[in-house]
Structure 1
């Protein structure tokens, strides 16, 4: 049997793995699925068509799977899918998707969502993402793997943040951020590369050198931003630089933050 505190409310239909732990005063909706080893500390609400992956821990007063904060939402059946081994801290909110946005909000594995974060409808969050206290991710955003977003920052709807990027605290991000980018300042300026993150991940020096050269070309080369990116594709053998090129040339609903 699952470890369920007697004060918890589990609605009929909820599917709870026998190894899950549900603390006092939690409320679990009828369409919720909790995988093996999931732990809800106390006073957690999990509602909607929400699945929570193995080993994820949710802390007090988090509200997971509620309807979107979107006036266009009309009660359609949509989902929130949360991966494995996440740490979802106090007062975090994550909403399900909307029919217009694909119907699913997705959160990857091994993330840390600090107190007061918000993940809005139809967002896609990658693996090993860290959202620091009170970060707000708007609807339809895509946050790729290994991204860190500093405290009190906001990400505009439809923005993409590439893998390995870092966003400084108290920053508003209104345009796409290239992989491994470093963004800071109140209105979000692309100030360089996340060199600390690259070194911590053990990226080879040759690739870091190639990334730095690529960033200089993107900042100072001739032609448009996309033209410079395509020129990089022809001149580089680094998979990291190619990843930046593919990100820039992919479809997007936003402009890019470009080097100053």
Structure 2
């Protein structure tokens, strides 16, 4: 069995065909999925899905790419996270790839989320792109890692170097691989995946984006996370059952308020 540790099935292109999405999850032995929040205006939809379907969980947070969206404070996040279906804070982090100029607002937003995660004890879902050095620095400064008494979390849709992965794992974070790892040109990322132990690994789709081979170029969905697991088993030369078991156990160990339906 598999768990999709990061998807956005509240997005219109997926929410409009949920029966098909759930059927394909069942066909591919994907038992649970975490629907991840990216902004406050759409958060009610994320929570509604998690309340309606027992195999879905939700997070609360504001993505670093969303510049023109309402900000939330620590108290806001703590209040919204006080719900049994909310298992994480995020996604949060830093992204210097698309945006330019003074990005101090991103860094302050990231700190706010880490402080909320520390207050609630719920783990962080961290997005980092072209900003690894600042991401790791702020994680350390704010005590995000379990080694500092923080909640820990996951580096989602990981595409950074092994050095960054090791720095995150040293703080108690998990590393999550998406369909990108299956791409033919992702040799450096595949080398990272070989080095990351199964005990620190999650799998995800980030649906509706980044569909894995053999569905690359199509709309992604949670059922396709099985292809990520299959690729990682071949890459690491381990039984597929080990990848399925470890990544599923890791999900429930990390997102400790989630329960296996």
**TM-score normalised by L of structure 2:** 0.23
Structure having the higher strand fraction is 1
From the two aligned structures, give the one with the greater helix fraction: 2
TM-score (norm 1): 0.23
